[in-house]
Structure 1
């Protein structure tokens, strides 16, 4: 009986150890992917943009105040919050492929050009959205005029 319990305990320990190693391995791959893809830097860029907006709204606050606040911000906090999201949607094999891709010349080019593409796409989208909004208003006015 003791032998059986020891065997079961050993098997459970082994299974949990393998799971923990896989989990730690996958977590490290997610961190690597976030670093290579530049995603980990985006959090700090967003914080800096938010602080810039707050500085405009709160001009009476000293730069020292904002500098002290930024010292309290830890980019790893956001990384740790998004790790479970990446874990949910990507397998370790997916992460291996993404990391390998972003280390290629094409992957580096994608990373370099994506912010520019996003910026220009947002500008075009704003113009299109404004035109669609104006079109809706015109149609509403035409509809009201008929009724």
Structure 2
């Protein structure tokens, strides 16, 4: 049990490791904060998403390894993961320490301002509303494509293996 928790925590910590930050001006930080707010990617919202995802993964692993565990364990996992992730990402500023360097590296202040300005238009607001839906629908379409093509890929690979003498028919 302890091994599962430690492994999951290490995996999570590695996946959200903090990047070393260049010096980012206060003005650029304000612009990044505005953009993150507009796009629904604030530390609080992302912390909630991270903690929910982490708790789901932990709960799933725990159910697989100990199906008869006391249901209170799942409540504890949710409470503790939310508390720790909120502390690290929001209270200690870990989320911003990760995001500021990424935005700083990829966008100038002028570009950030242009994105903010666009998001304040009717088109920008529509993009913010519709792009997550498009992303989700695209992901589902890609998954359906993968399910449909997987047997064909497997068939071709197996035929090639037989041709190359890797597997005998």
Smaller-chain TM-score bracket: 0.7 to 0.9
- Paired residues for 1:1-147 under 5 Å: 23-40=25-42, 41-58=45-62, 60=69, 61-74=73-86, 75-76=89-90, 77-146=94-163
Give the C-alpha shift of residue 127 in structure 1: 1.5
CA distance in 2, matches of 1:25, 1:141: 58
CA distance in 1, matches of 2:107, 2:163: 54
Give the C-alpha shift of residue 86 in structure 1: 0.4
CA distance in 2, matches of 1:64, 1:54: 11
SS in 2 for 1:39: coil
Give the C-alpha shift of residue 145 in structure 1: 4.9
Choose between structure 1 and 2: higher helix proportion: 1
Q: Which string of whole-angstrom CA distances, capped at 9 and with x for unpartnered residues, describes residues 80-109 of structure 1?
A: 211101000100000101111112222111
Q: Which segments of 5 or more consecutive residues in structure 2 lack a partner in the other structure?
A: 1-22, 64-68, 165-169
Q: Which string of whole-angstrom CA distances, capped at 9 and with x for unpartnered residues, describes residues 12-52 of structure 1?
A: xxxxxxxx8x7111111111111111122244313212212
Give the C-alpha shift of residue 56 in structure 1: 3.3
RMSD, matched Cα: 2.3
Q: Which segments of 5 or more consecutive residues in structure 1 lack a partner in the other structure?
A: 1-19
Give the C-alpha shift of residue 113 in structure 1: 1.5
Could you say which residue in structure 1 is the equivalent of 2:17?
none
CA distance in 2, matches of 1:128, 1:110: 25
